[in-house]
């Protein structure tokens, strides 16, 4: 596994660039990831989605279903992709420090 | 000289069946020689290292791919299956070995020109290995590195006018049998419906929005050449409403031996002279046929359109002229709660462009399942959990005997409150006036 140093923080990541430990997350992680996810600036809209993902994960121990993300943030799936070009899984979950989505992908 | 010794795999080069080992070795050799002088974008020895890692798995009986992998292209949430080797030092050529799913043309007709373009692109940017095709239907490009994904996507979309297939919790790549392109049993244009719905639902295919995966398959008759009833959540299976068309002269030709039964499918063995009574009339599941000695008669009211007589005497019996399809819902593999095949939802539906009726039905089913389906619950499981009755309600379909193979044998029946005089609100005191404790 690789480890990344950015602005003095050390992040351990897997091949896909997901954080190995949710607890390692801090705001600089988002700054570091955004370029590889096709995002120029983190807007309040981005932040709303990222915050929701983190809250949901802390409460439930899993990432929310897409439908729940849309319902709670008010962003349609299309808008989520406009904000995060690789989508809610690869884009938003990665930036918010959640574990890598698994299953039949 | 091969990069790795592969004594076990080498044994799979003998025998008559086309050997995947010989083929991979051939590709490995071709990449080493590089006759076209290509600037290979991923390691030249990718196929050699694949054989190496496979030999290792043969030796220790365990897979050597790491768990999962999330890679893709911008704008899509699926289409690429990420994969990493768990021995990257030993086999650097397959350290990354991602699979790219490409949406195939319905029923898989190709021109060599198109396939050549795919191969040229894949030689340069991938391993040179493929699956033709994945079980769902996609062209499968087997093995490339993350940096190549956007390059591949750009090339197939810009130069080949071709898109990725589906993966993840979304609509997967639809597929059909070859339908009316070269089959006289086709009750509707399966390829056209497949293509039309694929285009209609591009968003659902590329951006996972469902509780779980969802598959369409289109069989143009009950023979099920694309196995829609077993391998798709939403199966469209062609059928007809009127009478089987019988050409009595052709029937006589079968009886007389001029025409071979089943178009000669059993020619490899002597089954004796064709016996229309034994092989057709008595085999009919509803026993709705009679052979008078000079004429074949079918009581079409009792025919379940199983295809047997048509399959046996294709030159004498033909599908009817009032054609459409049945729709069956909910097929899935065993995980989690057991395998299911499609259950009949719509016995007969018109199938003609622009297919609005079918699209409306799909919309109703998705609206319900996207709202009610649990995380990773196939529609077949949602039907089990919330009942077939609920499915009928949300699709606005009237219950009919054709919906069941047999009625329930348990008496645990739910009634709606409005169906019951007096409703559910009862006063125990009123009851006690008639029945003392």
According to the model, what pLDDT value does residue B247 have?
Answer: 98
Q: Is residue B395 part of a domain?
A: yes
Nearest CA distance, B32 vs chain A (angstrom) = 28
In a domain, B57, yes or no: yes
Residues of A in contact with B70 (CB under 8 A): 16, 18, 89-90, 94, 100-101, 105
Domain limits for position B351: 171-239+325-403
Residues B32 and B58 both lie in one domain = yes
Per-residue pLDDT tens over the stretch B316-357: 999 999 999 999 999 999 999 999 999 999 999 999 999 999
Domain A2-96 superfamily per CATH? DsrC protein, C-terminal domain (1.10.10.370)
| Residue A90 touches partner B, C-beta closer than 8 Å | yes
Report the percentage of chain B scoring pLDDT > 90: 99
Q: Is the pLDDT of residue B227 over 70?
A: yes
Q: What is the pLDDT of residues B125-153, one digit of tens each?
A: 999 999 999 999 999 999 999 999 999 99
**C-alpha span between A65 and B72 (Å, rounded):** 19
Same structural domain, B263 and B353: no
B147 and B181 housed in the same domain: no
- DSSP class of B75: T
Whether B433 maps to a domain, the answer reads no
| Cβ within 8 Å, pair A16-B82 | yes
Handedness of CA A74, A75, A77, A80 (dihedral sign): negative
CB contact under 8 A, B77 and A85: no
Q: Which two tokens stand for residue B172?
A: 């997967």
Residue A102 pLDDT grade (very low, low, confident, very high; cuts 50, 70, 90): confident
The domain that holds B254 is classified in CATH as 3.30.70.20
A15 touches chain B (CB under 8 A): yes
Q: How close does chain B come to A8, measured CA to CA in Å? A: 27
pTM value is: 0.95
Residue A67 has pLDDT above 70, yes or no: yes
Alpha-carbon gap, residue A16 to A37, rounded angstroms: 12
Q: A89 CB near a chain B CB, below 8 Å?
A: yes
Cβ–Cβ below 8 Å for B71 and A16: yes
Q: How many of the other CB atoms lie within 10 Å of CB of B9?
A: 21
Q: What is the dihedral of CA B361, B230, B67, B208, to 10 degrees?
A: -10
* Closest chain A residue to B76, measured at CA: A86
Same domain? For B283 and B340 the reply is no
Q: Is A27 on the interface with B (CB under 8 A)?
A: no
A87 to B207: CB separation less than 8 angstroms, yes or no: yes
Instruction: Respond yes or no: is residue A93 known to be catalytic.
Output: no
* pLDDT band (50, 70, 90) for residue B400: very high
Task: Retrieve residue B49's tokens.
Answer: 């290292």
In a domain, B359, yes or no: yes
Packing angle, helices A66-73 and A44-60, rounded to 10: 130
Indicate the residue of A16, A67, A81 with minimum beta-carbon distance to B70: A16
- Classify residue B167 by its DSSP letter: -
Residue the block writes with tokens 């622009």: B354
Taking only the tens place, the pLDDT of each residue in A42-64 is: 999 999 999 999 999 999 999 99
With a cut of 90, say whether residue A81 has pLDDT above it.
Answer: yes
Identify the band that residue B203 occupies on the pLDDT scale cut at 50, 70 and 90. very high
CB contact (8 A) between residue A89 and residue B168:
yes
Residue found by looking up tokens 């399942």 in the block: B369
- Residues B150, B75, single domain; the answer is yes
- Cβ of A16 within 8 Å of Cβ of B69? The answer is yes
| Cβ within 8 Å, pair B74-A77 | no
CB pairs under 8 A between A and B: 69
Residue B37 has a pLDDT of 97
Query: Of the residues B160, B180, B199, which one is the last residue of a structural domain?
Result: B160
A81 in contact with chain B, both atoms CB, cutoff 8 A: yes
On whether residue B312 sits in a domain, the answer given is yes
| Residues B75, A85: C-beta atoms closer than 8 Å | yes
Tell me which long-range contacts B379-387 makes (C-beta under 8 A, separation of at least 24). Answer: B379/B214, B379/B233, B379/B234, B379/B329, B379/B330, B379/B332, B380/B233, B380/B329, B380/B330, B380/B331, B380/B332, B380/B340, B381/B332, B381/B336, B381/B337, B382/B211, B383/B329, B383/B330, B383/B343, B384/B337, B384/B340
Residues B15 and B114 in one domain: yes
| Nearest-neighbour CA in chain B from A93: distance (Å) | 11
Q: Are residues B357 and B386 in the same domain?
A: yes
Which of B74, B82, B209 is closest, CB to CB, to A86?
B74
Contacts of residue A90 in chain B, CB cutoff 8 Å? 70-72, 77
Supply the Cα-derived Rg of chain B in whole angstroms. Answer: 28
Number of domains in chain B: 3
Domain range annotation of chain A: 2-96
Instruction: Indicate whether B214 and B85 sit together in one domain.
Output: no
B31 Cα to chain A: minimum distance (Å) = 27
Instruction: Out of B66, B72, B371, name the one closest to residue A86 (CB).
Output: B72
pLDDT surpassing 70 at residue A105? no
Mean pLDDT of B62-87: 96
Residue B167 tokens read as 């993966």
CB-CB contact of B151 with B125 (8 Å): yes
B417 CB neighbour count, 10 Å cutoff = 9
pLDDT at B303: 98
Task: Kindly report, residue by residue over B163-185, the tens digit of the pLDDT.
Answer: 999 999 999 999 999 999 999 99
Confidence of residue A101 (pLDDT cuts 50, 70, 90): confident
For chain A, how many helices (H) and strands (E)? 6, 2
Catalytic-role residue among A3, A23, A44, A104: A104
Other CB atoms within a 10 A radius of the CB of residue A57 amount to: 18
Residue B429 confidence (pLDDT) above 90: yes
Check whether B1 has a pLDDT greater than 70: no
Are B357 and B220 part of one and the same domain? yes
Contact flag A15-B75 (C-beta cutoff 8 Å): no
For the cut 90, the answer to whether the pLDDT of residue B2 exceeds it is: no
Beta pairing class for B343-349 and B323-329: antiparallel
Q: Cβ of B68 and A105 within 8 Å? A: yes
Residues of A in contact with B207 (CB under 8 A): 77-78, 81, 87
Residues B31 and B96 in one domain: yes
Closest CB to A89 among B77, B81, B376: B77
**Whether residue B139 sits in one domain with residue B84:** yes
Nearest CB neighbour to B84, from listed A15, A66, A85: A15
**Chain B residues interacting with chain A (CB cutoff of 8 angstroms):** 66-78, 81-82, 84, 96, 167-169, 203, 207-211, 213, 370-371, 375-376
Name the burial class of residue B283, with classes exposed (0-12), middle (13-18) and buried (19+) by CB atoms within 10 angstroms of its CB: middle
Identify the burial level of B413 via C-beta atoms within 10 angstroms of its C-beta, where 0-12 means exposed, 13-18 middle and 19 or more buried: exposed
Start-end of H helices in B332-407:
356-372, 379-386, 388-395
Q: Does some domain include residue B73? A: yes
**Does B221 lie in the same domain as B89?**
no
Q: Do B74 and A38 touch (CB under 8 A)?
A: yes
> What's the 3-state SS for A50-97?
HHHHHHHHHHHCCCCCHHHHHHHHCCCHHHHHHHCCCHHHHHHHHHCC
Domain final residue, candidates B112, B127, B160 = B160
Cα–Cα distance, B232 to B221 (Å, whole number): 15
Q: Verify whether the Cβ–Cβ distance B168 to A105 is below 8 Å.
A: yes
């Amino acid at each position: 596994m690789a480890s990344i140093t950015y602005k003095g923080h050390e992040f351990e990541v897997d091949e896909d660039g997901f954080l190995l430990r949710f607890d390692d997350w801090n705001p600089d992680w988002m700054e570091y990831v955004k370029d590889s996810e096709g995002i120029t600036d983190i807007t309040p809209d981005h932040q709303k989605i990222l915050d929701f993902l983190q809250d949901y994960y802390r409460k439930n121990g899993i990432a929310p279903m897409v439908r729940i993300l849309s319902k709670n943030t008010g962003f349609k799936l299309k808008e989520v992709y406009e904000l995060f070009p690789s989508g809610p899984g690869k884009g938003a979950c990665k930036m918010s420090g959640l574990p890598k989505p698994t299953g039949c992908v | 000289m091969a990069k790795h010794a592969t004594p076990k795999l080498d044994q799979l080069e003998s025998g008559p069946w086309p050997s995947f080992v010989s083929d991979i070795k051939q590709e490995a050799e071709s990449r080493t020689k590089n006759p076209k002088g290509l600037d290979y974008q991923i390691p030249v020895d990718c196929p050699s290292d694949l054989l190496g890692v496979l030999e290792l798995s043969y030796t220790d009986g365990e897979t050597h791919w790491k768990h999962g992998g999330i890679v893709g292209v911008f704008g899509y949430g699926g289409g690429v299956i990420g994969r990493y080797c768990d021995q990257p030092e030993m086999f650097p050529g397959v350290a990354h070995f991602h699979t790219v799913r490409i949406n195939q043309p319905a029923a898989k007709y190709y021109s060599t020109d198109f396939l050549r373009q795919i191969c040229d692109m894949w030689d340069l940017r991938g391993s040179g290995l493929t699956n033709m095709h994945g079980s769902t239907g996609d062209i499968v490009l087997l093995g490339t590195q993350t940096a190549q994904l956007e390059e591949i996507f750009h090339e197939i979309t810009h130069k080949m006018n071709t898109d990725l297939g589906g993966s993840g919790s979304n609509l997967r790549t639809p597929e059909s049998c070859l339908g009316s392109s070269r089959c006289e049993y086709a009750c509707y244009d399966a390829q056209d419906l497949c293509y039309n719905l694929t285009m209609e639902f591009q968003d659902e295919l590329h951006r996972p929005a469902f509780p779980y995966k969802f598959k369409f398959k289109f069989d143009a008759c009950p023979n099920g050449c694309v196995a829609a009833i077993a391998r798709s959540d939403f199966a469209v299976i062609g059928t007809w409403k009127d009478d089987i068309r019988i050409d009595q002269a052709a029937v006589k030709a079968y009886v007389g031996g001029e025409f071979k039964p089943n178009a000669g499918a059993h020619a490899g063995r002597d089954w004796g002279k064709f016996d229309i009574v034994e092989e057709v009339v008595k085999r009919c599941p509803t026993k709705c046929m009679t052979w008078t000695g000079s004429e074949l008669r079918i009581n079409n009211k009792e025919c379940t359109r199983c295809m047997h007589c048509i399959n046996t005497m294709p030159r004498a019996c033909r599908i009817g002229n009032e054609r459409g399809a049945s729709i069956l819902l909910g097929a899935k593999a065993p995980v989690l709660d057991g395998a299911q095949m499609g259950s009949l939802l719509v016995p007969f539906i018109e199938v003609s462009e622009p297919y609005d009726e079918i699209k409306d039905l799909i919309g109703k089913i998705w609206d319900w399942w996207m709202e009610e389906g649990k995380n990773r619950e196939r529609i077949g499981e949602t039907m089990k959990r919330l009942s077939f009755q609920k499915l009928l309600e949300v699709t606005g379909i009237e219950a009919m005997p054709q919906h069941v193979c047999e009625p329930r044998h348990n008496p645990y029946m739910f009634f709606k409150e409005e169906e019951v005089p007096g409703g559910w609100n009862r006063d125990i005191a009123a009851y006690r006036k008639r029945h003392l404790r």
